[in-house]
Amino acid sequence: DEGQRLSKALAALGVASRRASEELIFAGRVQVNGVTVTMPQHAVSTSRDVIAVDGKVVQGGLESLGDGGHLYFLLHKPKGYLCSSKPAGAGARASGQDRLVLDLFEDWREGWRKRHPGQLAPRLFTVGRLDVNTTGMLLVTTDGQWCQRVAHPSSQIPKSYIVTAATRPTKAQIKKMAEGCEVDGVHVTPLRVESMEGARDGGPAHRILVDVVDGRNREVRVLSASAGVDVKKLKRVRVGGLRMPSELPIGKYMSLK
């Protein structure tokens, strides 16, 4: 549905009655593409927009964690792990290099084998990729079709990253990043780029919040480099309406279904 009122969309999705949906919106409990909306008449598209209530996605992009017995996980990816299903060479493994994200699910595989003797554990897929030096939120699933749909750039699912710069970014650098640049032969423009200096969470002056929807390879790093920002750390903290739980330790995962 194109351009319908947010309150009407929530009611149609079975979240609450139209009146109760309006109250949820007025209370600041509804987010559209990661941004809190407090006006019931705000126009949304249930085919394109990610709508969440209290941080839980109810429609758009990530809303249908399909059926059919598939499993969905949210992983806090550590630095130094590859989003690949290909085993690294013996030398690389021995030196601790090129470790695989899916290695972090060995305990889950072991549990599966105990519960299903003689059966192979379902194959796991990473939903998109984070480069080896990037940390943060990564979705992992047994649902290959859902994985491809969500990971494809055409899904236009917003993702949030925190860039920790080596030095305090200037206003000119923030502006340059916000203007976008060419990535993989296509000009991309981030949804939002802002300094986290003085942010409500007390973020340090060297941090930058970047929201993107294109999902191009190393997009945030290329945007940063185009503005002369030296990236010290890069962490993804949101995908669609799902946010990285602050209590989830690095290297650990939680089930979404």
Annotated catalytic residue within 1, 54, 103, 131: 131
Q: CA–CA separation, 211 vs 229, rounded Å?
A: 16
Half-sphere exposure at residue 239, Cβ-oriented, CA atoms within 13 angstroms: 26
Has 131 been annotated as catalytic?
A: yes
Q: CA–CA separation, 150 vs 138, rounded Å?
A: 12
Residue 16 vs residues 25, 27, 33, 60: alpha-carbon distances, Å: 11, 14, 20, 17
Residue 45 vs residues 42, 49, 106, 190: alpha-carbon distances, Å: 10, 5, 39, 20
Q: CA–CA separation, 246 vs 237, rounded Å?
A: 9
Widest CA span of the chain, in angstroms? 62
Amino acid letter, 88: A
Question: If we measure between CA atoms, which residue out of 149, 192, 124, 160 comes closest to residue 62?
Answer: 149
Catalytic site residues?
131
